[in-house]
Structure 1
């Protein structure tokens, strides 16, 4: 798993250089990483960049495994940044990882903007996590139309949709 994530990070770095996202200043990006559960929860990372580029890395229980790129329509990136502000994302704890319920998936949102980097780890079995965090995770998925790459929520590894 760690090797795959390092591989994805390397590919992401190459894509950043090729797409021109990397410049003299730090690029703004929003990343959502969905982790495993006890079942067939999709495992993937999707990263949105301020220039509208989208990078997807699918690992398990997704329609499209591997690396794919896309583009955002309209103001998707700025809409999510605004939602981060409105939901209080930048004031949230860095992690919500209590095991109040077991066998649940995890999600991690990382945002780099002009103010720095904020990362929030969210285990969906932690009952103290703010509801706005799940809303923000779902907004990112909806904005990039993630189901085009992951398939439906019932998608099993290798299953054709």
Structure 2
């Protein structure tokens, strides 16, 4: 995996809204918009730990569908996931409700943990 981008989309309530990019080399970029843990807002950068790289590599994120979720229910949180694989293949997924697959749920928990526990360096906007 060369890059993974995750965008948490807004809802009418207090859904966290942000975009996070994790590069193959472990560099992390966070654009925190609204309702993000630790009151983060703005652009941040950090570095994935060896353990974090191992956790991310252990997830099976190949073969995801383009869309997940029950769209007849209004105002559920949603997440866009874009994965760039070595070789140029790009996989895009929209997960309405954030329960697409067990592996996606593990990915979201991993990202939540990163946002909450990572040491973030503020980048000038």
TM-score range, shorter chain: 0.7 to 0.9
Larger fraction in strand:
2
Deviation at 1:52, TM superposition (A): 1.4
Q: Which runs of 4+ in 1 moved over 6 A?
A: none
Q: What is the RMSD computed on CA atoms of the aligned residues?
A: 2.3
Matched with 1:19 is none
Q: So what's the TM-score if we normalise by structure 2?
A: 0.77
Distance in 1 separating the partners of 2:76 and 2:33: 17
CA offset digits 1:90-149 (Å, max 9, x no partner): 212111253243221111111112141111110107x7x33332222222332xx21258
Are 2:108 and 1:132 aligned? no
Deviation at 1:68, TM superposition (A): 0.8
Structure 1 or 2, whichever has the larger Rg, is 1
1:80/1:140 contact within 8 Å kept: no
Distance in 2 separating the partners of 1:42 and 1:148: 16
Q: Secondary structure at the match of 1:99?
A: coil
Distance in 1 separating the partners of 2:54 and 2:107: 13
Larger fraction in helix:
1
| Residues matched between the structures, number | 115
Matched with 2:80 is 108
Q: So what's the TM-score if we normalise by structure 1?
A: 0.62
